[in-house]
Structure 1
Amino acid sequence: MLSTAQIFVSPSPAVVGDIISCKFVINSILRVGCNCFICSAMQIDNHTAAQLAVKFEKDEPDNLALITEYIVQKSIFNMKHFAKIIEFGHRQQFNFIITQLLGPSLRDLALRQQFQNLSLQTLLKFAYQAIESLQTLHQAGFVHGAVNAV
């Protein structure tokens, strides 16, 4: 069964080598989704700096996920378990947010290896960190609304 959601086909918000805000260069495309396009990037003037994540969303009235993410992340700035915002802006017909590039999700880890190979200690540590993160969101006045099992 085909999804009715449109996937970014054209125009693409960025390609490898593109410069964003005169400060960041796109290294690779990480994910392409229905409403979101995610790349890795690095600062042009600091090649030893950590990789960054760049998320793009088409600037349309119904697309509010990226702006909402920006508002939430600004509210929990410098809190444990959350990416630091580097920049938020507009490029062509897309909004973008640049943040620290975090490590793999539990889902990515589970798909990378046999799920049985994740130790109980690793799973409990993840569960504890997930609960801490949700608690931080709640204390800032937000409800996640889409917590799912792997």
Structure 2
Amino acid sequence: MTSSAVHVVCPSCGAINRIPPDRPAKQAKCGTCHQKLFSGKPAVANAAAFERHITRNDIPVIVDFWAAWCGPCLAMAPAYERAAAELEPDFRLLKVNTEEEQSLAARYGIRSIPTLMMFMHGREAARRAGASDMRGIVSWARAQTTDKQRSASVN
């Protein structure tokens, strides 16, 4: 994580938690509901939870836009879950069902599923359409943040 406190949204209750730099984030618990902030699994998000996570987390948020009828989405689900275990606590991973949250899918122009999107501080930072294995998801996520950090330090 970073050398300063990081704000993380609880996937269970939505409370915003401050994790000091001297505390191990993987073991952090929510100050409100006392659930683990990082479970090693993607959090299922409705529109309100999605909005809160992408705007209030200091860590990058990766969202899997998927649907229950989509074969590639179902095939990728176990890989996405393993990626969550690998990427937390540096990333928050969410799942958004496009059938249940059609307004979100329309708002972000989701044309094919599965689509992975990365958000940093409320803004789209990267997008990737199509199924991927766990290593592909992890590599893509880390490459995006490395690219963003590199371009920020140049500017």
TM-score range, shorter chain: under 0.3
Higher relative helix content: 2
TM (normalized to structure 1)? Answer: 0.27
TM (normalized to structure 2)? Answer: 0.27
